[in-house]
Structure 1
């Protein structure tokens, strides 16, 4: 059985229409898709445009606005090249459903060149991937590994605490029958910033309004880590950031703006997943 967030709908009246699968279902509601799936679908659409027109460019920024729930129903994307020059391409994507648009993304792609001379400061606090004996290298999707005061494990019950968290995950396919690309994997995984930063002693009590991913380079492969970098909250509005990394080093950052949603908080300490995402859709 293949694992993916969506399946293609070739007979749908809208071109490139897709339908969410079980793996896309959100823990907030059985009727809506989670942000990881939505971000992945938007990133897939943007990447398709750039790969057709400017394959030499590399992704450097994705900002996703999650302004209304994406339902577990058919969806499709529209794209617009907002600006293109010799050194960059700016592509906007909108995700639509029957009731109207549900999310959008602005993506920036740049032409790589040589590093600038001289020395500049960089943060010496570098995240570390889980040991290979804990999380072997793989391209197969799996339940995320989490690191907190309890160390690395896939048992979410061990990590419902106020400790700094790190999230390590291998992304599934965005659309059934298509191999996930490194960019799609990191674009989707960026929504995991909320899990890494907003998960505390009472579970996850905040829902994302947006997520921004910045990249100095794409990941090597489709496994990505997010380590909590900072978090500030006032009057129910939280701004959180993570360092993005792979086994070869740090590759970028994420920033998420979220709102408290305590009436429908998710008690992660009561969840137990087997290491097979077909049994439970996860977060």
Structure 2
């Protein structure tokens, strides 16, 4: 079975240890929440037979901590037209809403002619000798003031960050899809833009992901492009990319959580999803 964030019990999603947040031992992290919602949205799109549409704008509201308890996802088609379909999803635990998402699916067509400004410089994945092509689960790579590595302690600095990671399967009986991967990894936007010298001191309340195209695989990169902070509120944006180039952007709003920051200087991760204390 693939390393996954949930197992299935009927229509219920049962979180695995991989889904556990570093904010709390009894809390599901946003990567897993977002992945579960994206999976539900894709399933509803398939159920109405719209394989001609692709996800273009995906928004998540993380308004209540999801506990390490079984979840269900309810979906609703808000509007379906020839070129657009809007679907909402809600994550529930014991009938209580803990998060919601909305996705706009659009019909791809031929791009018009004409020149429009676009950036010349784009982020790139780590060199192949550092991170070979693979969709297999592995510890995320980061670069900052330090070169690409999987050593989280080395990147706890004030530098501009870029991450490269492969999306985990959402449930153990399914391999996962490129959209599920980019939707779940988009939650890492908060870590990319809010991780500094004292760890991650902000917790994001939402995710907004805009995609011009589908990822070519489950390998996804996020590169910090901007960050604004005032009175304990942070807004950060990243460029989203894969091995074929830019995909779009992601944005998060976050609240200060400095009293219990996530400190990466004393933890280590392995490719099986295990977290251990770093040996002095």
Q: TM-score, normalised by structure 2?
A: 0.96
Task: Please say if 1:90 is aligned against 2:86.
Answer: yes
After superposition, the CA RMSD in angstroms is: 1.3
Could you tell me how far 1:171 is from its partner in structure 2?
1.0
Deviations 1:157-176 (A, max 9, x none): 11011111001100111011
Q: Which of 133, 156, 174 is equivalent to 2:170?
A: 174
Could you tell me how far 1:138 is from its partner in structure 2?
0.6
Q: How does 1:12-161 map to 2 (within 5 A)?
A: 16-53=11-48, 54-98=50-94, 100-161=96-157
Q: How many residues align?
A: 276
Unmatched runs of 5 consecutive residues or more in structure 2: none
Deviations 1:78-123 (A, max 9, x none): 1010011000000000000016110000100000000111000012
Task: Please say if 1:217 is aligned against 2:213.
Answer: yes
Unmatched runs of 5 consecutive residues or more in structure 1: 11-15
CA distance in 1, matches of 2:40, 2:261: 31
Task: Please say if 1:254 is aligned against 2:250.
Answer: yes
The equivalent of 2:200 in structure 1 is 204
Deviations 1:210-243 (A, max 9, x none): 0100000011010100000100000000000000
Could you tell me how far 1:17 is from its partner in structure 2?
1.1
Could you tell me how far 1:278 is from its partner in structure 2?
3.2
Deviations 1:233-271 (A, max 9, x none): 000000000000001100010000000001110112222
The equivalent of 2:273 in structure 1 is 278
The equivalent of 2:190 in structure 1 is 194
Q: How does 1:211-250 map to 2 (within 5 A)?
A: 211-250=207-246
SS of aligned partner of 1:189: helix
CA distance in 2, matches of 1:266, 1:278: 17
Contact 1:182 1:221 in 2 (8 A): yes
Q: Structure 1 37/78 Cα, relative in aligned 2: closer, same or farther at 3 Å?
A: same
CA distance in 2, matches of 1:220, 1:2: 20
Deviations 1:109-140 (A, max 9, x none): 00000011100001223001100100011111
